[in-house]
Amino acid sequence: MKGQLTKSSINIGQACVECGISFLPPLVLSFELPTDYPSSSPPVFTLSSRWLSRIQITTLCKRLDELWEKNRGNVVLFTWIQFLKEETLAFLNIQSPLEIQTIDGQPQCESGQNQAVDTAIEKSKVQEFDQRAVQEVYHHTDILTQLLDFNEAQKQKDFDGKIFCCGICFSENLGSNFLSFKECQHFYCKACMKEYFQIQIRDGKVQCLTCPEPECMSMATLAQVKLLVDHDEFTRYDRLLLQWSLNLVADVVYCPRMSCCMAVMIETYHGLSLCKECKITVECALIQISRSVYILILIQRKIDEALSKDWLKENSKQCPSCGANIQKELGCNKMTCASCQQYFCWICLAVLNRNDPYSHFRDSNCPCYDHAFTTHQLQVERRESHRSNQVVGDY
């Protein structure tokens, strides 16, 4: 069907959900040609729809009858099909947004003006439902899913048949050979994205499987990753992604049994919790220990935590965006946080411009001017030398 329908509103009970729709499920015209067609009898038909109300389908059936009367004695199937494809939305006065209200699980389609009955239906004065009008009724919670799934499938089919150019390798190919990110709609060829995903998974950067477009943070879905990488790589990706997600939760520990290693949520104040996998009480380092030993271990843990904090304070800095601790070994002072991908200056911890991060080190008014590749020790020596020169100058 052709029309300017761009949105669909689904009213489920008191709730209203509005979604962008480019394709609607088709009307299904099933017919049988009698022996005296087209000289005397019209085709015997039924008309069904997922998203039109039965009264609207009845109105369309009446219109098909009218078209037969106008063309009696001639073939009429082509005229019917053209009407259903080209004029259905206009005939029923359906505009954007299309509203589908659910009453007892049955979709009741309305026009964009929230009219109880469309103008075309009022004119037809339909007193009862036509037996040829078939409404494919789904449970009310499935109507939105049905429409969105069909819309996505048709959009993908339309995309697959067009020619596109990859923004990475600049090769042209059919859309079926491209991967499109769901959130941003940016797309690149599958060959480039496969290599990109493999490198990130191999390096353990499972949170970095994002769109390669600059400043775009759209994540690839699990299905997209599984489609491109092999089984072992996807297993590693899935495991590391789960581990990375759990590490962000403070009250999650791992069962210390080597054969288990199940992630466990700490539920009690003293740090003990039941491992759901092997059914034992889990403490971060011990299993089934006496209270006295537990207290000693708890004290040792506090000491270790304090030492760890001291070490982190001396040897690392926190990302100004997410607070993750980062240690710098080599390279320039433009840092990239492995957790949130934020660019920042190692010297002053300033957040850097993503388009031109090194502009920070070219700013003569900035204390980090010309220090993009300056080591920490050299910075200390320069500051001490600067202070000494100031003291000499004062004398």
Three-state secondary structure of the chain: CCCCCCEEEEEECCEEEEEECCCCCCCEEEEECCCCCCCCCCCEEEEEECCCCHHHHHHHHHHHHHHHHHCCCCCCHHHHHHHHHHCHHHHCCCCCCEEEEEECCEEEEECCCCCCCCHHHHHHCCCCCCCCEEECCCCHHHHHHHHHHHHHHHHHHHHHCCEEECCCCCCEEEHHHEEECCCCCCEEEHHHHHHHHHHHHHCCCHHHCECCCCCCCCECCHHHHHHHCCHHHHHHHHHHHHHHHHHCCCCEEECCCCCCCCEEECCCCCCCEECCCCCCEECCCCCCCCHHHHHHHHHHHHHHHHHHHHHHHHHCEECCCCCCEECCCCCCCEEECCCCCCEEECCCCCECCCCCCCHHHHCCCCCCCCCCCCCHHHHHHHHHHHHHHHHHHHC
Question: Domain check: are 148 and 283 in the same one?
Answer: no
Residue 177 lies in a domain: yes
Q: How many domains does the chain have?
A: 4
Give the percent of the chain with pLDDT over 70: 72
Look up the pTM and report it.
0.54
Instruction: Report the Cα 391 to chain-centroid distance in Å.
Output: 60
Q: Is 332 a catalytic residue?
A: yes
Q: How many CA atoms lie within 13 A of 146 on its CB side?
A: 17
Question: Domain check: are 182 and 305 in the same one?
Answer: no
Question: Domain check: are 106 and 48 in the same one?
Answer: yes
State residue 379's pLDDT score: 53
Question: Domain check: are 189 and 211 in the same one?
Answer: yes
Question: Domain check: are 13 and 129 in the same one?
Answer: yes
Last residue of a domain, one of 131, 152, 173: 152
Question: Domain check: are 68 and 199 in the same one?
Answer: no
Last residue of a domain, one of 312, 338, 357: 312
Question: Domain check: are 168 and 239 in the same one?
Answer: yes
Residue 173 lies in a domain: yes
State residue 293's pLDDT score: 62
Residue 317 lies in a domain: no
Question: Domain check: are 11 and 77 in the same one?
Answer: yes
State residue 11's pLDDT score: 53
Last residue of a domain, one of 94, 127, 152: 152
Question: Domain check: are 138 and 213 in the same one?
Answer: no
pLDDT tens for residues 232-255?
999 999 888 888 877 777 667 666
Residue 120 lies in a domain: yes
State residue 18's pLDDT score: 77
State residue 82's pLDDT score: 95
State residue 392's pLDDT score: 47
Question: Domain check: are 95 and 205 in the same one?
Answer: no
State residue 242's pLDDT score: 84
pLDDT tens for residues 13-30?
556 777 788 888 899 999
Residue 192 lies in a domain: yes
> Which residue of the set 332, 337, 348, 366 is catalytic?
332
Question: Domain check: are 16 and 148 in the same one?
Answer: yes
Please answer whether residues 30 and 45 qualify as being in contact, where contact means their C-beta atoms are separated by less than 8 angstroms.
Answer: yes
- Structural domain that includes position 182: 163-247
State residue 285's pLDDT score: 43
* Distance between CA atoms of residues 209 and 200, nearest Å: 7
Residue 187 pairs with which residues in a beta bridge?
Answer: 180
Residue 158 lies in a domain: no
Question: Domain check: are 336 and 239 in the same one?
Answer: no
Residue 225 lies in a domain: yes
Residue 198 lies in a domain: yes
* Distance between CA atoms of residues 106 and 104, nearest Å: 6
* Distance between CA atoms of residues 60 and 133, nearest Å: 8
Q: Low-confidence residues of the chain, pLDDT below 70?
A: 1-15, 101-127, 137-141, 250-251, 253-261, 266-294, 374-395
